């Protein structure tokens, strides 16, 4: 009998910048490493500001320059089912963490982590929101997410027993 894939959920505020970027970057890394069958990936927002919308055009454009596709992703709000469904819930900043902790059942609190805890190079405690900034903010967001996703891939390999 096949085991359930290891499931990750990336969470930011509106699910149109940081969390879909992390979703797309990590999906790309998982596919490149041939771990598709072992891992499922999703993203959501703490707020329901943009339900059904694609990621911010700036997020898509910056990600595409680095070879990541985000165009198929759609914004949604985190739900109670997400806490049961996912093995790891990765938030982008302290505010997202506080909001998710508030609604997370006690038995699932251990699943909550900041994405930047997995950074291998950067020591940033959070992935800052680039929404109101310029082009540099989106590039810095991608830099942090790529770094964290490299460390996260190591974690997932250990968690799934992948070579």
Is 51 part of any domain?
yes
Q: Is residue 67 part of a domain?
A: yes
Residue 68 belongs to some domain of the structure: yes
**pLDDT band per the 50, 70, 90 thresholds, residue 1:** very low
In angstroms, rounded to a whole number, what is the distance separating the alpha carbons of residues 20 and 43? 6
Question: Which residue shows structure tokens 């969470």?
Answer: 11
Residue 128, domain member (yes or no): yes
pTM exceeds 0.85, yes or no: yes
User: What CATH number is associated with residue 98?
Assistant: 3.40.50.2300
- Annotated active-site positions, please? 12, 18, 129
Q: 1 in a domain, yes or no?
A: no
Residue 88 lies in domain: 6-160
Q: Does residue 64 lie in a domain region?
A: yes
Residues 6+ apart with CB under 8 A from 96: 11, 12, 13, 46
Residue 39 lies in a domain: yes
Chain segment 70-110, per-residue pLDDT in tens: 999 999 999 999 999 999 999 999 999 999 999 999 999 99
- When divided into structural domains, the chain yields a total of 1
What pLDDT shows up at residue 58?
Answer: 97
Q: Which residue has the higher pLDDT, 107 or 132?
A: 107
Angle between helices 57-65 and 18-32 (to 10 degrees): 30
């Amino acid at each position: 009998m096949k085991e359930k894939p290891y499931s990750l959920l990336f969470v930011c505020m509106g699910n149109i910048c940081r969390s879909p970027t992390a979703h797309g970057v990590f999906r790309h890394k998982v596919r490149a490493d041939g771990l598709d069958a072992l891992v499922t990936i999703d993203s959501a927002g703490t707020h329901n500001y943009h339900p059904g919308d694609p990621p911010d055009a700036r997020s898509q454009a910056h990600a595409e320059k680095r070879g990541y596709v985000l165009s198929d992703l759609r914004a949604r709000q985190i739900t109670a089912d997400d806490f049961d469904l996912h093995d790891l819930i990765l938030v982008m900043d302290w505010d997202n963490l506080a909001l998710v902790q508030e609604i997370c059942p006690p038995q699932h609190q251990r699943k909550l982590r900041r994405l930047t805890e997995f950074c291998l190079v950067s020591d940033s405690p959070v992935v800052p929101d680039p929404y109101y900034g310029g082009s540099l903010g989106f590039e810095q967001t991608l830099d942090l997410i790529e770094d964290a996703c490299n460390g996260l891939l190591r974690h997932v390999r250990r968690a799934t027993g992948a070579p």
